[in-house]
């Protein structure tokens, strides 16, 4: 009798009462797949290796996957991260354990790009200020001329990074008739040319952008890449938007720049520490729009991420290389290849 292909889901996919945390994540394809068993793990952060000893796959939400999370059995073959960020996962530990780490770029590409557009329109249209004015009645209406918005035609939209999400943002911004610039040492020149993006230096990006968006992953190289020096290069009328990862921006430096009105404003869906301390000074500023690392959270986003993770897990079960593998070097490791071959023989 063939042993089942066992799939673990991190405990944060379920509420304390046992109901799904995110009902739009459709688990039906996993439940109905032949030879598959699934189980929700007890909450632990980071996950413990002993929790995963008897599992072939893990679908991971917000919990960390650290070196101590790798089970000693060697059975675990894939960690499917729910989303595109993987700074909560020790990639080297996955590779050493012959575990493929997968992310869901197709699931987040449009939802995160929409989030950026939301920030662009809200900031330049002075939406938060005008909401307050409208609630003040006649006095607020009388003051509306003091809070003129900013038109987008001819303005320069810049992006630090022009990968999956950055490219989608530019595509969506086409009707605004803006100029597009980006700094990304890994950019595909053909993609940039097709969209109409001018690839520029880091200094040019910060100096020229009227709206500067952060669309790069968090790495040791990008941590605090948006620092006091570079923020000081920005126009006084410019806006900064970060929907990527908080530590890419030096938040203390940004807070100081915003407090001193050195730039016009910011839109942040991410923070250096999440959640931020209740007394964090950035929470008191009136020229920043904030969201709790959830602006892209929609029914479609979670359905898309979930479907991508389920596909990745079932591809491994069938002995195929899944989409969205981060640690591509694992695909050449003998241990991982042996796992895929074994699954292919068992479940095809």
Dump the DSSP string for 229-249. HHHTTS-TT-EEEE-S-GGGB
Contact 135, 160 (CB under 8 A): no
Catalytic residue check, 341: no
Among the listed residues 53, 274, 329, 341, the single catalytic one is 274
* pLDDT for 59: 96
Query: Which residue carries 């980071």 as its tokens?
Result: 46
CATH class entry, domain 5-103+299-347:
alpha beta
What sections of the chain are H helices per DSSP? 28-32, 91-96, 105-124, 127-134, 138-142, 164-173, 189-195, 202-208, 228-231, 251-259, 299-317, 334-347
Catalytic residue check, 311: no
* pLDDT for 313: 96
Reply yes or no on domain 108-290 having CATH 3.40.50.720: yes
Give strand pairing partners of 160.
183, 214
Contacts of residue 235, defined as CB under 8 A and 6 or more positions apart, other chains included, come to: 207, 209, 210, 263
Rounded CA separation 342/318 (Å): 9
Write out the two tokens for 115.
Answer: 């989030």
Contact 78, 316 (CB under 8 A): yes
Contact 215, 163 (CB under 8 A): yes
**String of b and e for 281-315 (b: at least 16 CB within 10 Å)?**
ebeebeebbbbebebbbeeebbbbbbbbbbbbbbb
Contacts of residue 293, defined as CB under 8 A and 6 or more positions apart, other chains included, come to: 269, 270, 271, 274
Residue-level pLDDT, tens digit, the chain, 348 residues:
468 999 999 998 999 898 999 999 999 999 999 999 999 998 888 999 999 999 999 999 989 999 999 999 999 999 999 988 888 999 999 999 999 999 998 889 999 999 999 999 999 999 999 999 999 999 999 999 999 999 999 999 999 999 999 999 999 999 999 999 999 999 999 999 999 999 999 999 999 999 999 999 999 999 999 999 999 999 999 999 999 999 999 999 999 999 999 999 999 999 999 999 999 999 999 999 999 999 999 999 999 999 999 999 999 999 999 999 999 999 999 999 999 999 999 987
- Omega before residue 207 within 30° of 0, cis: no
Question: For the chain, what are the domain ranges?
Answer: 5-103+299-347, 108-290
* pTM of the shown model: 0.88
The end-to-end CA distance of the chain, in Å, is 15
CATH topology identical between 5-103+299-347 and 108-290: yes
Catalytic residue check, 245: yes
Residue 37: exposure state from Cβ atoms within 10 A (0-12, 13-18, ≥19): middle
* pLDDT for 1: 47
* pLDDT for 274: 94
* pLDDT for 106: 87
* pLDDT for 186: 92
Among the listed residues 245, 272, 311, 315, the single catalytic one is 245
Rounded CA separation 28/24 (Å): 11
Write out the two tokens for 110.
Answer: 């449009």
């Amino acid at each position: 009798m063939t042993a089942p292909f066992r799939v673990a889901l991190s405990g944060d996919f379920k509420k304390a009462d046992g109901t799904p945390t995110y009902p739009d994540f459709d688990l039906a394809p996993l439940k109905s797949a032949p030879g598959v068993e699934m189980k929700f793990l007890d909450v632990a952060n980071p996950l413990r290796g002993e929790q995963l000893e008897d599992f072939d796959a893990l679908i991971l939400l917000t919990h960390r996957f650290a070196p101590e999370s790798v089970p000693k059995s060697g059975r675990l073959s894939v960690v499917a991260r729910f989303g595109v960020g993987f700074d909560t996962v020790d990639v080297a530990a996955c590779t050493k354990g012959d575990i493929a780490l997968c992310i869901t770029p197709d699931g987040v590409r449009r939802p995160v790009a929409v989030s950026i557009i939301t920030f662009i329109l809200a900031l330049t249209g002075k939406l938060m200020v005008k909401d307050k004015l409208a609630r003040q009645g006649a006095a607020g209406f009388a003051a509306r001329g003091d809070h003129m918005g900013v038109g987008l035609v001819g303005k320069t939209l810049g992006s630090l990074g022009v990968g999956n999400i950055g490219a989608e943002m530019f595509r969506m911004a086409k009707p605004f008739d803006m100029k597009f610039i980006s700094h990304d040492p890994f950019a595909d020149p053909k993609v940039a040319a097709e969209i109409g993006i001018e690839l520029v230096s880091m200094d040019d990006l910060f100096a020229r952008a009227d709206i500067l968006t952060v669309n790069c992953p968090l790495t040791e190289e990008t941590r605090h890449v948006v620092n006091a020096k570079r923020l000081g290069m920005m126009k006084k009328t410019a806006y900064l938007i970060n929907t990527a990862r908080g530590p890419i921006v030096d938040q203390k430096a940004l807070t100081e720049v915003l407090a001193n009105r050195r730039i016009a404003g910011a839109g942040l869906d991410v923070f250096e520490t999440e959640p931020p301390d209740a007394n964090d000074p950035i929470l008191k500023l009136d020229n920043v729009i904030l969201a709790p690392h959830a602006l892209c959270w929609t029914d479609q986003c979670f359905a898309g991420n979930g479907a991508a993770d389920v596909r990745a897990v079932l591809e491994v079960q069938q002995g195929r290389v899944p989409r969205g593998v981060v640690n591509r070097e694992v695909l050449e490791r003998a241990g991982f290849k042996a796992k895929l071959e074994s699954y292919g023989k068992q479940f095809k």
